[in-house]
Amino acid sequence: MAAAATGGPEAHQSGIKIPHAYQLKLRVKGGFVHKFNGFRSTDKDTIREFAKEAFGLEFEDAHLSYKGWNWGQAIVEGGNVSFNVEGKQTLEVPLTDVAQATVQKNEAILEMVADDTALPEDEMLVELRFHLPQSTGDEAADVDGTPAEGFVALVKQSGDLDVAGATLATLPDIQVQVPRGRFELELCDKFMKLFGKSNDYKIMYTAVSALYLLPKPDGYHMALCIALEHPLRQGATSYPHIVLQLPKEAPLELEVALSEAECTARFGDKLDKFESGDMPGVVAKVLAAFTKKKVSGIKAGGFNGDNADGRSKSIRCSLKAAEGFLYPLSKEFFFMSNKPLLIEFEKVASIEFNRVDAKQQQAQVRTFDITVHMKEGLPKQEFVNLQRSEYKELFRFLKTKNIRIKNIASASYGDDVAEGDDDDDPYTARLKAEREATKEAMMGDDDDDDDDDEDDEDFKGGDESDVDEEYDEGSEEDDERAFKKKKKGGDDEDEDEDEDEDEDEKAAPPPKKRKKEASSEEDESDAPVESPPKKKGKEPAGSSKNPLLEKKPKKKRAKKDANEPKRGQSAYMLWMNAAGRTIAKEALGNGASIGDIGKWCGAKWKEMNAAARVEWDDKAAADKARYEREMAEYKSNIRRQAMAAAGGSDDDDDDDNDDA
């Protein structure tokens, strides 16, 4: 139930029944409306008498419409938009909550301002659409434009939305990492809008808490991060940060739809009417001017302050299942991924280093973890799989920020190891040992071949081997040869036994095989002559028909001619030997392995454009021409030497014939 009183065109009173109470609504001169809630039913008589004596107004009861009909009358009055059904009010929206009003055919669309106090699970009104059909007959001739256009014009005039909804600057085709997609960015007076293929987003300038311009690890893009006090919502998904991905070298020219005087009055020296330059710089400058927020970035002397490469300003790691890059900034940590996270240092209670103690050092662990403990009961954040090469600089950075380290003993041990001699680091020592072993193996290939050849020469049939244990039964031909050998004279047997003993002493098999050989000799001595014993052992190469039992002699490598010219190197190898390895060591650190350097150089070479490769392609072509020229001369010399040697032998044969 509601109560209402009217006494003239410039004043109005109404009382509306609200849950558990009554609402008193006063509409005063000038169209302003004031609402008061919490009145009791017994207060109606008191208000009625006071209104009649003070204002001369009649107070009457009024009722709301609860039918739920969607066909009625839309009224713009007193700074409010109301929808009435059969003369009874159904809903009312203040124009101060309307962010933008637009027309789409016969529909008037009112977009509402996001509620800053709403929780993620709360429901709120985001848009109102009124369908206003075309007028017919004489009414259509008297009205300029469509009813929807007239309604929107009235809303803009009453709510002062003409200036607020006008587009002042447009940034087309912007790559957005979060939420992912390509959007057109429009900057208006009080808000900015992102128009995408599937979704549109509106961001109030007052909802922007900070701006960050950070270099991406790929070296070609900059990330402009917009931190929001209240996240955007798309269904059940919320976006507390908007991340724009902007190419470094892309040029951009922008014009603000304001006069020079208006730009100076509103932005001062922070923004001009015409702006041009690289895209990250121009976009950051424009957003900073409209939102009145300072753009934060990487400062000199911060994390990896001695390294000018932007790719070294972040640490690759993972937060739960999200992989990304952690940026240690001057006052906060910013974790950039598909779910960005901002951690301010003033809210950090302590940081705990994991997997950095002595046992982990001895286990040669290449990564470590950190756990960020928060104040005020906020949940802790654990970053895992940070590269060990970043440990020393991160530990130094946290000390400079006076951030408490929870396990200072273990962390200090890891820092001492990182700062000490490389020989004391087990991981570095193992890398050095692997490199030395690789060099020794490459230098000792010829010696190994000689040793293998000597083993082949000492090999005799009948010796024990690993193959003998698997194939311990001989063939029928082996049995026949053994039977014939038994029938030979004693002298031959004695000589053969002496030779076998000498060969056994040279071979010096392991003790287990010696024991097995002795047992086989006893079996042969006890066996009768008529039944030929089965022979164990391996015959010389080429004597057995079984290919598994044959031992093929190793082929010796042909020695390379020292005068043969070296082959031409490719453009990639020339670049890597000249500059690639040095750049890789600066980027990855001195502790990087050979494999990591190779992978880094390969990826860097793929990223280089054709213009950057021209120098090395020319050098590779020149080196190839040099090789072909020297190879032609080398082959010509070989032919001349062969012809000279052939001519000399013919002369010697002729002299021999003459002497005969």
Q: How far apart are CA 462 and CA 476, in angstroms?
A: 16
Q: What are phi and psi of 615, to 5 degrees?
A: -60, -45
Across 276-305, average pLDDT: 90
Q: Over 50: is that where the pLDDT of 297 sits?
A: yes
Q: What is the 3-state secondary structure (H, E, C) of 308-342?
A: CCHHHHCEEEEECCEEEEEEECCCEEEEECCCCEE
What is the model's pLDDT at position 89? 84
Average pLDDT over every residue of 121-134: 85
User: Is residue 435 pLDDT above 60, yes or no?
Assistant: yes
Beta-carbon contacts of 584 under 8 Å, excluding residues fewer than 6 positions away, are 592, 596, 597, 600, 601, 604
Mean pLDDT estimate for the chain: 76
Cβ–Cβ contacts within 10 Å for residue 108, how many?
Answer: 25
The pair of three-digit structure tokens given for residue 68, joined into one six-digit string? 């739920």
**What CA–CA distance (Å, rounded) separates 621 from 617?**
6
Q: What is the DSSP letter of 405?
A: B
Residue 634 has pLDDT above 50, yes or no: yes
Positions of E strands within 367-410: 367-374, 381-387
Range of weakest confidence among 164-178, 523-537, 617-631: 523-537
Reference 98, options 151, 169, 177; nearest CA is: 151
pLDDT confidence tier of residue 527, bands split at 50, 70 and 90 = very low
Whole-angstrom distance, CA of residue 239 vs CA of residue 245:
16
pLDDT at 183: 94
The HSE-up count of residue 203 (CA atoms within 13 Å, CB side) is: 25
Residue 446 or residue 565, greater confidence: 565
* Region 341-358 average pLDDT: 90
User: Is residue 283 within 8 Å of 224, Cβ to Cβ?
Assistant: yes
- Nearest of 234, 242, 183 to residue 208 by alpha carbon: 242
pLDDT digits (tens, 9 = 90+) for 553-569: 666 666 777 788 888 88
β-partners of residue 419 are none
Taking CA 449 as the corner, what is the angle to CA 447 and CA 450, rounded to the nearest 5 degrees?
65
Nearest CA-CA partner of 325 in 182, 220, 215, 179: 215
Higher pLDDT, 396 or 358: 396
Query: For residues 445 and 155, which has the higher predicted lDDT (pLDDT)?
Result: 155
Residue 166 has pLDDT above 50, yes or no: yes
Residue 111, pLDDT score: 82
Residue 149 CA to residue 104 CA, distance in Å, equals: 9
Residue-level pLDDT at 597? 83
- Count the Cβ atoms, other than its own, within 10 Å of residue 49: 11
**Is the pLDDT reported for residue 222 higher than 60?**
yes
pLDDT of residue 430: 62
Task: Name every residue whose Cβ is closer than 8 Å to that of residue 76 and which is 6 or more positions away in sequence.
Answer: 95, 151, 154, 155, 158
Q: From residue 313, how far is each of 219, 478, 646 by CA, in Å?
A: 11, 74, 70
What is the structure's pLDDT at 153?
86
Spatial separation of the C-alpha atoms in residues 462 and 499, rounded to whole Å: 12
For the ranges 64-68, 164-168, 324-328, which has the lowest average pLDDT?
164-168
Q: Phi and psi of 99, rounded to 5°?
A: -90, -35
Report the alpha-carbon distance of residue 166 to residue 262 in Å, rounded: 14
Q: Which residue has the tokens 């200072």?
A: 408
> At 125, is the secondary structure helix, strand, or coil?
coil
* Residue 8: other Cβ atoms inside 10 A: 10
**Domains along the sequence of the chain with CATH:** 2-9+18-134+145-158 (2.30.29.220), 163-297 (2.30.29.150), 315-356+366-408 (2.30.29.30), 571-635 (no CATH)
Distance, in Å, from the CA atom of 397 to the CA atom of 504, rounded to the nearest integer, reads 69
Which pLDDT score is estimated for 362?
A: 56
pLDDT at 233: 74
- Counting residues of the chain whose pLDDT is more than 70, the rounded percentage is 68
The pLDDT > 90 percentage for the chain reads 25
pLDDT of residue 515: 43
Q: What is the mean pLDDT of residues 295-308?
A: 80
Q: Give φ, ψ of 178 to 5 degrees.
A: -135, 115
Residue 110 reports pLDDT greater than 50:
yes
Q: Distance between CA atoms of 646 and 649, rounded to whole angstroms?
A: 5
- List, for residues 613-632, the tens digit of each pLDDT value: 888 898 999 989 988 998 89
- Is residue 14 pLDDT above 80, yes or no? no
Query: pLDDT higher for 71 or 361?
Result: 71
Model confidence at 651: pLDDT above 70: no
pLDDT, residue 370, reads 95
pLDDT at 507: 47
Q: Is the peptide bond before 179 cis (omega within 30 degrees of 0)?
A: yes
User: What's the residue count for the chain?
Assistant: 660
Cβ burial of 17 (10 Å; 0-12, 13-18, 19+) is middle
Q: What is the model's pLDDT at position 474?
A: 47
Confidence at 410, pLDDT banded by 50, 70, 90: low
pLDDT digits (tens, 9 = 90+) for 195-214: 888 777 888 898 899 999 99
The pLDDT tens digits for 483-504 are 555 444 444 444 444 544 454 4
| Phi, psi at 465, each rounded to 5° | -155, 175
Residue 478 reports pLDDT greater than 80? no
Whole-angstrom Cα distance, residue 483 to residue 531?
8
pLDDT at residue 504, as a whole number: 47
Q: What local confidence, expressed as pLDDT, does residue 477 receive? A: 52
Estimate to the nearest angstrom the gap between the alpha carbon of 336 and the chain centroid: 8
